[in-house]
Amino acid sequence: MLKLAIIFGIISLISGALGFTGISGASAGIAKIIFGIFLFLLALAVLAIVLGIAVF
């Protein structure tokens, strides 16, 4: 998940530098959503480890 967020962030930076603002905004939005999902899943995994629940 984090890898995808980084890839979309890089796409956003490159397309913004080249003047493609629509593509830049869309890929930045996608990167934010994916990063948010990553943070949520990370928090759940850490919580499960702290509580001792077997998740995997």
Confidence grade of residue 13 (pLDDT, cut at 50, 70, 90): very high
Question: For 1-56, where are the alpha helices, taking DSSP H only?
Answer: 2-18, 21-51
Over residues 21-41, the pLDDT tens digits come to 999 999 999 999 999 999 999
Its pTM stands at 0.81
**pLDDT value at position 56?**
66
Distances from the Cα of 48 to the Cαs of 26, 32, 42, in angstroms?
33, 24, 10
**Annotated domain spans of the chain:** 2-51
Q: Taking the mean position of all CA atoms in its chain, how far away is CA 36?
A: 6
Q: How many residues does the chain have?
A: 56
